[in-house]
């Protein structure tokens, strides 16, 4: 009886050993297979031994997709900025500037992310032939040095350490993108944006509804006429106390591109979210603009200012919400940027100002 029990236990132990071996082998094999799949398909085009296939931008996050476009060497000029610059079409700029533009503007980007994007391009390609910075209030944020990243900005993708790239590639998100890239080659998926970064991310123009847009434009304050009031003057002590830490990065960007065409373009957000005339916030914004102008003058950059009360920014029908203008306005800004930067042409209706030619 005892011998039968021992034999039975040995059978159970043997079966359990086979199960554990099979389970571990399957588990480890699946991980190795997934890792090899990621490294060979390489959706971010980072692995030197990956398969020689076309790799469009398949990631829905600009923060993850753009390093691939910048490393490609297809572009010699860039636009950096937030979502208010994303509708500037590189193809509209290429011929007039005799350049090959990539629009690397990102939704809700911080000034540090924009500076880091520029630095990545400069280190991996060259100092851009033409640099356009879509300037938003993030550059005047007093906490820009403390609130550096948003929405999971992948710092590991933008540094010079290649080893941490491999470690960060091996995850379920990259596995999904690798599968999406395979699906692209099978005709099941399309690229998320053009390779130069341009994407019409606003709704189709046929869906525009002014009443709905107004609710998005005037969400921060009730709709009211814009007053014609001067900003209260700041004392010398108040000016000295103001912190704009991101302007150090802006100055470095311009200093590192001595022979480039450099354009700082204040983007035309609606007056509803500009600093309201007659307030201290308006005086602070004016001081920040003045410091940006001083940096541009010292570094040989042009400054074009659409962030003013104008026929564009006071017309609700030009906007989807307080931040995002419609596609015809984006095309107009592209034309005006070309005329202002290349020919020094002023605005015929006061929609922009040339602060530095």
Please give the full DSSP string across 134-177, using - where no structure is assigned.
EE-GGGG-TTTTTS---S---GGGGSS-HHHHHHHH-SHHHHHH
CA distance 348 to 356: 17
Residues 143, 191: Cα–Cα separation, whole Å: 36
> Which run of H or E residues covers position 335?
helix 327-343
Tell me the pLDDT of the chain (357 aa) as tens digits.
555 555 555 655 566 667 566 656 666 676 778 888 888 999 999 888 889 999 999 998 999 999 999 999 999 999 999 999 999 999 999 999 999 999 999 999 999 999 999 999 999 999 999 999 999 999 999 999 998 887 789 999 998 877 777 778 888 889 899 999 999 999 988 888 999 999 999 999 999 999 999 999 999 889 998 998 888 899 999 999 999 999 999 999 999 999 999 999 999 999 999 999 999 999 999 999 999 999 999 999 999 999 999 999 999 999 999 999 999 999 999 999 999 999 999 999 999 999 999
Q: What is the CA radius of gyration of the chain?
A: 26
Query: What are the distances in angstroms from CA 170 to CA 35, 37, 45, 175, 239?
Result: 6, 10, 14, 7, 49
- pLDDT of the residue at 160: 82
In a domain, residue 346? The reply is: yes
| Residue 131: exposure state from Cβ atoms within 10 A (0-12, 13-18, ≥19) | buried
Task: Specify if 213 maps to a domain.
Answer: yes
| 98 Cβ contact partners less than 8 Å away, ≥ 6 residues apart | none
Which tokens is 222 given?
A: 């009730």
> 137: domain CATH number?
3.40.50.1110
Classify each residue of 229-248 as buried b or exposed e, where b means 16 or more C-beta atoms within 10 Å of its C-beta: eebeebeeeeeeeeebbbbe
In whole angstroms, give the CA distance from residue 214 to residue 322. 9
CB 282 within 8 Å of CB 288: no
CA 85, CA 201: separation in Å to the nearest integer?
A: 11
Which structural domain range is residue 213 located in? 62-160+191-356
Residue 74: CB atoms within 10 Å: 12
Confirm whether 4 is domain-assigned. no
Structure tokens at 231: 């900003």
Has residue 137 been placed in a domain? yes
φ, ψ of residue 75 to 5 degrees: the values are: -125, 145
3 domain residue, yes or no: no
Structural contact between residues 82 and 106, judged by C-beta atoms closer than 8 angstroms:
yes
Number of folded domains that form the chain: 1
What are 37's two structure tokens? 């799949």
CB-based contact 333:313 (threshold 8 Å): no
What per-residue confidence (pLDDT) applies to 13?
A: 54
| 42 domain residue, yes or no | no
pTM, to two decimals: 0.90
Please check whether residue 2 lies inside any domain of the structure.
no
Residue 110 and residue 128: Cα distance in Å, rounded?
Answer: 20
| 155 is a domain residue | yes
Which residues, at least 6 apart from 247, have a Cβ–Cβ distance to it below 8 Å?
139, 288, 291, 292, 295
Q: Identify the pLDDT of residue 1.
A: 57
């Amino acid at each position: 009886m005892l011998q039968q029990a021992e034999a039975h236990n040995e059978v159970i132990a043997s079966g359990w050993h086979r199960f554990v071996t099979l389970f571990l082998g399957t588990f480890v094999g699946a991980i190795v297979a997934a890792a090899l799949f990621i490294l060979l398909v390489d959706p971010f085009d980072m692995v030197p031994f990956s398969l020689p296939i076309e790799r469009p931008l398949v990631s829905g996050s600009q923060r993850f997709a753009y390093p691939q476009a910048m490393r490609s060497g297809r572009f010699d000029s860039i636009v950096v900025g937030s979502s208010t610059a994303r509708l500037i079409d590189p193809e509209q700029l290429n011929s007039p500037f005799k350049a090959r533009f990539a629009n690397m503007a990102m939704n809700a980007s911080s000034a540090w992310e924009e500076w880091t994007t520029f630095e990545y391009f400069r280190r991996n390609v060259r100092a851009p032939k033409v640099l356009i910075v879509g300037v938003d209030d993030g550059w005047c944020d007093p906490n820009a040095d403390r609130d550096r990243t948003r929405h999971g900005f992948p710092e590991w993708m933008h540094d010079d350490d290649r080893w941490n790239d491999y470690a960060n590639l091996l995850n379920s998100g990259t596995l999904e993108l690798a599968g999406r890239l395979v699906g692209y080659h099978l005709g099941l998926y399309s690229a998320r944006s053009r390779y130069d970064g341009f994407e019409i991310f606003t709704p189709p123009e046929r869906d525009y509804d002014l009443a709905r847009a107004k609710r998005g434009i005037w969400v921060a304050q009730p709709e009211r006429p814009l007053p014609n009031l001067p900003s209260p003057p700041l004392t010398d002590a108040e000016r000295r106390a103001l912190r704009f830490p991101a302007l150090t990065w802006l100055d470095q960007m311009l200093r590192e591109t001595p022979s480039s065409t450099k354009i700082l373009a204040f983007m035309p957000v609606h007056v509803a979210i500009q600093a309201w005339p007659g307030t201290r916030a308006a005086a602070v914004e004016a001081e920040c603009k003045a410091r940006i102008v001083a940096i541009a003058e010292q570094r040989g950059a042009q400054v074009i200012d659409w962030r003013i009360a104008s026929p564009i920014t006071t017309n609700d029908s030009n906007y989807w919400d307080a931040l995002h203008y419609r596609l015809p306005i984006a095309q107009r800004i592209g034309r005006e940027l070309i005329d202002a930067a290349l020919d020094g042409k002023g605005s015929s209706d006061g929609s922009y100002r040339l602060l530095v030619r």
